Amino acid sequence: MTERLILGQLLAFEGDPRALGPGAARHDTFGAVLVRDGLIARVGDAASLRADHPGVPVTDHGDDLILPGFIDAHVHYPQTAMIASWGKRLIDWLNTYTFPEEARFHDPDYATDIAGRYLDLVTSNGTTTVASYCTIHPTSVDAFFAAAQAKRMRVLAGKTCMDRNAPDDLRDTAQSAYDDSRALLRKWHGVDRLGYVITPRFSPTSTPEQLSALGALWAEHPDCLMQTHLSEQLDEIAWVRDLYPNARDYLDTYEAHGLLGSRGVYGHAIHLEPRETTRLAEVGAALVHCPTSNTFIGSGLFDMGLANTISVGLATDTGGGSSFSMLRTMAAAYEVAQLRGHAVHPSELIWRATGGSAQALHLEDKIGRLAPGFEADLCILNLASTPAISQRHARASDIWEAVFPTIMMGDDRAVTQTYVAGVPVKTGR
């Protein structure tokens, strides 16, 4: 048995602040987390835990804030090397930057290099779990899961399936998408902290036959998640309408082929029709808000009010998103909501990046909270990491004023340490 006491300020959430208010979080000025064999054993007052557990090794982070590790609910790790590519709308951006880069992932050495680089980047930013699209190549999935397994990370991922409207070297077929996905699922799903996700890219790059094949696979493995894109841009929606003239709306292209369900995770969802919103809520599906991507590619402004009836996670959407940082993503989510006339409270921003994303990914019983029995994935934040943040932090009257400047202006310098299963993984500190 291995134990460690990790000391610092604590923010421990009991639930969604949108429903419960900021009081959903308990703030301990002098708190501690007892980690035992990779799990959280106790959370509470530092003096009490130290007295109850004499002789246990202690890591004292002083005034730094202990949070659950950030959970990035929608990413494309193969786009790591071409993040922040200039000046294109979605379809042109895919053809100009994304598809040529993804074609390189047939090479297992290249896939391994990018997978390791990506996980190093996100853990340096306090992120401990991601749900990633890979490429059509099984090697891209193997490389990602192997890299995460070596770091003991809890991650989700799947082979991205496309059998039309993509370059020849990035197309599979309805049958090979099913066969490859099933083989990868059987190889990786449930191994250590890994989960397989059935992954049609989006309706424009899948024929009805491929969507049906993946819907059949999901029906055979209902414990898996299914991830895809939904209603990201208006011209994309018009394209879907042309490709699926009999569909009632974009969501119906998935629903008609068995790809709508409670374990479905739909990225973006900016321009939803009323029927789509109703159906997503009825089946208990989840949406993922990707604010830096939506502004970078010019997609539109997500309605955070959807979180009143639908589970909503938060994500960087690397590399459509312009940052690997969930702090930057929270800041962008705040700015997008402001443009829609709503000021999101700091408590909700943090929740969306932790417990909210865990809920969207059906991992709310394992990660995303500081509570006994949860996995000890932690992010330690310095709330005065730069001169600009420090001078504002000094005027804070409560924890929310103290943390908000780091949400709005923080970057990887604010992340003092990242713990994966109780083990520190951020180097250079």
pLDDT in tens, 389-406: 999 999 999 999 999 999
Report the percent of the chain where pLDDT is more than 90: 92
Q: What is the per-residue pLDDT across 264-309, written as a single tens digit (0 to 9) for each?
A: 999 999 999 999 999 999 999 999 999 999 999 899 999 999 999 9
Decide: helix, strand or coil at residue 406: helix
Enumerate the domain spans of the chain: 3-68+369-424, 70-360
Alpha carbons 374 and 371: distance in angstroms, whole number: 6
Q: What is the per-residue pLDDT across 167-226, written as a single tens digit (0 to 9) for each?
A: 999 999 999 999 999 999 999 999 999 999 999 999 999 999 999 999 999 999 999 999
Which residue type, as a one-letter code, is found at position 154?
R
On whether the pTM is more than 0.85, the answer is yes
pLDDT at 320: 87
Q: In the chain, what is the greatest distance between 2 CA atoms, to the nearest angstrom?
A: 68
Which pLDDT band holds residue 429 (cuts at 50, 70, 90)? very low
Residue 310 pLDDT exceeds 80: yes
Alpha carbons 7 and 61: distance in angstroms, whole number: 6
pLDDT at 160: 98
Alpha carbons 320 and 408: distance in angstroms, whole number: 20
**Does domain 70-360 match CATH 3.20.20.140?**
yes
Enter the CATH code of domain 3-68+369-424.
2.30.40.10
Which pLDDT band holds residue 82 (cuts at 50, 70, 90)? confident
Which pLDDT band holds residue 84 (cuts at 50, 70, 90)? confident
| DSSP label of 375 | B
Query: Strands of 378-381's sheet, edge to edge?
Result: 39-45, 25-36, 3-13, 58-68, 378-381, 415-420, 423-424
Residue 428 pLDDT exceeds 70: no
pLDDT at 1: 83
Give 343: exposed, middle or buried? Use CB within 10 Å, 0-12, 13-18, 19+.
exposed
| DSSP label of 136 | S
Q: Token pair for residue 141?
A: 């999935």
CB within 8 A of 229, min separation 6: which ones? 201, 202, 266, 267, 268
Tell me if 368 sits within 8 A of 358, measured CB to CB.
yes
Q: Token pair for residue 320?
A: 């459509």
